[in-house]
Amino acid sequence: MTVSWHPVANAQPSEWVLSQGALGLPYAVVRRFAFGDPNRPDVWYRVVTWAPGSDGRELIGWCRTLEAAAAVAWDHRCAAESWRHHMAARRSDTATMAAKRPSAAELVRFYRAALAAQGVRPLRASPPRTTMER
């Protein structure tokens, strides 16, 4: 008797590269971390900006669910584009933009606050955690 088992049956995804559309450029990387007891792990999702290598990535935040992580990654993408357009409209050069660019987590906080002020509900109401505090 043979058992139809394959190693993929035990495999779990641990990293997602998020991009818009089939041919879109990546905008974030979400990685799953499990801490503590292997039978009842404490699961967190770390969200970082996308770059080809780890050294070019910036922490956006830590989330408790994959859905929240994807939402904060999308909000960062929207916030970064909005900020870039705002700076370009003021005819800022690249060096000035780089010097004034806020952190990824700050961009998300500001973007979500601006949406709330307009009466628009973001995908996830609470901000991401920048540390794994409870």
Task: Tell me the percentage of the chain whose pLDDT exceeds 90.
Answer: 54
> What pairs with residue 31 in β-bridges?
15, 46
pLDDT 10s digits, 68-126: 999 999 999 999 999 888 888 888 788 887 788 899 999 999 999 999 999 887 665 44
Q: What is the DSSP secondary-structure string of 110-122?
A: HHHHHHHHTTPPP
Displacement of CA 14 from its chain's centroid (Å)? 14
Measured CA to CA, the distance from residue 57 to residue 90 in angstroms comes to 27
Q: What would the pLDDT profile of 19-54 be if each residue is shown by its tens digit? A: 988 888 999 999 999 999 988 999 999 999 999 999
Rg value, the chain, Cα:
18
Nearest 10 degrees: Cα torsion 45, 51, 22, 62: 10
pTM assigned to the model: 0.79
SS (H, E, C) 67-90: HHHHHHHHHHHHHHHHHHHHHHHC
pLDDT at 133 over 60: no
Contact 89, 23 (CB under 8 A): no
